[in-house]
Structures are given as structure tokens and as C-alpha cells.
């Protein structure tokens, strides 16, 4: 796709610009917004043209007059904590996720000048929050502005070695071509159940977006790690304490990895579990070649730990900022904040770059680009 035919997009809750990177060079960012100064600084560090279109501040402080017209796409990765199983499940009425309505009132105010398509990305809990009432409210908002819509639930594990399921609601004001409708591996049971709960007048606007399965992922967690000599390891005592926190099941997994004689890398999260009526802290390990879902480091339990086993040797350490960036599909040239905590905050709130690229190539570009531009990009 040539620069002259670039598709224009607006990026709300832009964070470190991962959606922009995923969309790629065939797209032109006409507007970006985030309220977090650390994320905004990261965005500026990675996009030299940021000052031309980045607005830092609360989305509720924006007006329709602040937005450019004739955009092809609005991308919104609104705060997800109130939909997440790790949060309070407050839904669209929650303090953070209500930022969605700050975004949506702008789309409504644009009227006929609103973007031709909208993508709303959030955690999978969006599909079931308040027994589906929040998802129904979202669909009603889209339908009220003349958009047809559908959803895909995509686990980033299909693209990078990180378990990170997310829902992508894709909406369009123009009827999609038949080639973009059909079956998809990302029409999960949760998506189908959410669609089935919609009232008939909203279900009539539903689009079953298709999309070919991505190529098989060829990287595992171990392949993305920094060299052992370049990282800081926990003390033996801290590693022993981590193992003590494991349940018998997870200790058996650890013992099997040690017995294999093969270097094995696992990912560990600390979680509170109820056992015999008591809340106890547990360290839970996985040795399937995937990291757990990266989170924003608001507390000790949200920091993901790596455990590396080589024979009788068992070492542990925290995931580094660069490793987190790689798990989000970012190149090593991506500039992360100097503070590890800040970097992990940007990563934990981000969207996985190869997932966005898949959506762009499979659905958004065929939907929005002039036919000649699409053919030129192939």
C-alpha cells in the first residue's frame, strides 16, 4: 500500500502506540490520545511525529472539534480493569472502564464524519460482565450510530509465547464484502454465547467476521529471554521460598522438569487461593512454553517470575522490561521507559502487535482500503 493511499486512523487510549505499530506503515495516525504521562512519553520516544497528533489528557476533556474528520478507523483499547477477572467486575459503570463512554460520546458527536470502522479491544470479561448486559450496551451504542458489528476472541498465544486472550469488537458503517464473513478460529464459544444473548434487534446487526488462522508460532518463552549473565537472579533463599509456596501439583510439575535433564523455563504467578476455607498464597508455575498474561505491576503478585531449571539447579528471577516487550511482539528497537516498573506498566496495558497486524491484514485493510491499494500491498 503506497503512502498516498494510507488509511487514516484515530487511536484512543494509545498507551505506547502498540496498535499503531501493529497496523503498520500502510496506515497514517491522524490523532492519538492517552492520559498517562509515562505512556505518552513512551509514545513520543518511539514516534518522531507524535507532537503533530498526540493529545495527552483525559478523554472526557476532549471535544469533537479536537478530532480530524474523514478518518477510516477509530481504535479504542479502553481501560480494562473493571472487566477483568482480576478487578472488581464493575463493568461499563466502573470508574476506569467508563472511559469508554468518554470516547464514544466523541464518535457520536462526529455524526456523519465519524470513522468508517471502529475497533474496541478489551479483556474477555467484556463478553460476560453483568451477565452480558455490558456487552449488550456496547452493541446498542454501536448500532445506534449505524454500525454493524461482530467480535473475535483472540489469544495472543497464537502469535507470541504469552497467554493473553482479548476480545476485539470490529464495527463498520458499510456492509462488509462476503469474503470477510464466515468462519474463524476466533469465534469462540464465549463470542457465540454473547451473540446469542443479544436481543433480536441488535443481533440483526451482527457480523460473523472470518479470518484465516495465523501461521504456527515458532517461538517459545525460552527463545525470548535475555542471556543469563545479563539479568539479576533471586537469592537461593528467595527461590526456595517460591517453591514452598507451590501446591503439591505444581511441585510435582517442578520435579518432573528437574528429572527431564533438559533446561526448562517456566513462568510463575503468585495468587491467593482458598484451601480448606482459608486464603493462602500460592505460586503457580506453567511449563508449556508460554508466559502468563503480562499485567500492570501494581502489587507484588502481579510481577511475573521466571523459573529456570537445569538438572538439580533451580533459579528464579523477574521478567525484564525487554522480555516483556518481546512478549508483546515489539522489536528490540522499541524504546521502553528507563524504570522497569514503568516499562512493565506500559506493556501490561498494551495490545499485542502481531494480533493487530493479523486483524489489519485479514479484515481491516480488505474492508477499508481501495481495491488497488489492497492489491498493491499483497
Q: Quick one: pLDDT at residue 311? A: 86
CA–CA gap between residue 153 and residue 155 (Å, rounded):
7
Confidence of residue 227 (pLDDT cuts 50, 70, 90): very high
Average pLDDT score over the chain:
90
Q: C-alpha grid cell for residue 32?
A: 492519538
**Which residues have a Cβ under 8 Å from the Cβ of 34 and sit 6 or more positions away?**
13, 14, 15, 40, 43, 54, 56
Asked if 51 and 29 count as a contact pair (C-beta separation under 8 A), the reply is no
Q: For 191-195, 224-228, 237-241, 256-260, which range has the lowest pLDDT when averaged over its residues?
A: 256-260
Torsion of the alpha carbons at 256, 262, 263 and 264, rounded to the nearest 10: -40
Tell the burial category of 51 from Cβ atoms under 10 Å away from its Cβ (0-12, 13-18, 19+): exposed
Q: How high is the pLDDT of residue 206?
A: 98
For the sheet with 278-286, list strands across it: 278-286, 264-275, 305-310, 313-318
Residue 78, phi then psi, degrees to nearest 5: -70, 160
Taking only the tens place, the pLDDT of each residue in 122-142 is 999 999 988 998 899 899 999
Residue whose cell numbers read 480448606: 276
**Residue of 123, 120, 124 whose CA lies nearest to 139:** 120
Which residue, among 289, 290, 292, 272, has the nearest Cα to 281 in the 3D structure?
272
Q: Where are the domains of the chain?
A: 3-214+350-377, 227-319
Q: Decide if pLDDT at 173 tops 60.
A: yes
pLDDT digits (tens, 9 = 90+) for 68-85: 998 999 999 987 655 543
Q: Is 16 helix (H, G, I), strand (E, B) or coil?
A: coil
What CATH number is given for 3-214+350-377 in this structure? 3.40.50.150
Residues 295, 212: Cα–Cα separation, whole Å: 29
Using the predicted structure, report yes or no on whether residue 373 has a pLDDT greater than 60: no
Which pTM value belongs to this model? Answer: 0.92
Q: Which three cell numbers stand for residue 235?
A: 537469592
Q: Is the pLDDT of residue 86 over 50?
A: no
For 311-337, the pLDDT digits (tens) are 889 999 999 999 999 999 999 999 999
- First and final CA of the chain: distance in angstroms? 8
Mean pLDDT of 144-153: 97
The reported pLDDT for the residue numbered 85 is: 38
| pLDDT range class, residue 300, cuts 50, 70, 90 | very low
Amino acid at each position: 500500500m503506497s503512502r498516498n493511499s494510507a488509511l487514516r486512523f484515530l487511536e484512543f487510549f494509545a498507551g505506547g502506540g502498540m496498535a499503531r505499530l501493529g497496523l503498520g506503515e500502510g496506515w497514517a495516525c491522524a490523532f492519538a490520545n492517552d492520559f498517562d504521562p509515562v505512556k505518552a512519553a513512551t509514545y513520543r520516544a518511539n514516534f518522531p511525529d507524535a507532537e503533530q497528533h498526540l493529545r495527552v489528557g483525559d478523554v472526557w476533556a476532549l471535544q469533537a472539534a479536537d478530532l480530524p474528520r474523514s478518518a477510516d478507523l477509530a481504535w479504542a483499547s479502553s481501560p480494562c480493569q473493571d472487566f477483568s477477572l482480576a478487578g472488581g467486575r464493575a463493568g461499563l459503570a466502573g470508574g476506569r472502564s467508563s472511559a469508554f463512554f468518554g470516547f464514544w460520546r466523541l464518535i457520536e458527536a462526529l455524526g456523519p464524519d465519524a470513522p468508517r470502522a471502529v475497533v474496541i479491544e478489551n479483556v474477555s470479561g467484556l463478553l460476560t460482565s453483568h451477565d452480558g448486559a455490558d456487552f449488550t450496551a456496547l452493541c446498542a451504542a454501536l448500532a445506534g450510530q449505524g454500525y454493524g458489528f461482530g467480535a473475535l476472541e483472540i489469544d495472543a498465544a497464537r502469535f507470541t509465547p504469552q497467554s493473553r486472550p482479548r476480545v476485539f469488537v470490529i464495527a463498520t458503517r458499510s456492509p462488509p464484502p462476503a469474503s470477510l464473513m464466515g468462519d474463524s478460529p476466533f469465534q469462540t464459544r464465549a463470542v457465540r454465547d454473547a451473540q446469542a444473548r443479544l436481543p433480536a434487534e441488535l443481533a440483526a446487526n451482527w457480523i460473523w467476521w472470518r479470518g484465516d488462522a495465523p501461521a504456527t508460532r515458532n517461538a517459545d518463552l525460552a527463545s525470548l529471554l535475555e542471556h543469563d549473565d545479563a539479568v539479576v537472579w533471586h537469592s537461593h533463599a528467595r527461590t526456595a521460598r517460591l517453591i514452598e509456596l507451590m501446591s503439591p501439583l505444581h511441585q510435582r510439575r517442578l520435579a518432573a522438569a528437574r528429572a527431564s535433564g533438559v533446561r526448562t523455563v517456566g513462568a510463575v504467578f503468585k495468587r491467593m487461593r482458598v484451601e480448606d476455607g482459608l486464603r493462602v498464597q500460592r505460586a503457580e508455575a506453567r511449563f508449556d512454553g508460554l508466559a502468563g498474561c503480562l499485567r500492570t505491576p501494581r502489587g507484588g503478585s502481579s510481577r511475573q517470575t521466571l523459573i529456570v531449571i537445569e538438572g538439580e539447579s533451580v533459579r528464579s528471577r523477574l521478567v525484564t522490561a525487554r522480555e516483556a516487550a518481546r512478549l508483546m511482539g515489539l522489536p528490540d528497537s522499541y524504546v521502553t521507559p528507563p524504570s522497569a516498573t514503568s516499562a512493565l506498566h506500559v506493556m501490561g496495558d498494551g495490545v499485542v502487535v502481531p494480533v493487530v497486524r493479523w486483524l489489519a491484514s485479514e479484515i481491516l485493510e480488505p474492508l477499508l482500503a481501495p481495491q488497488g491499494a489492497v492489491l498493491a500491498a499483497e
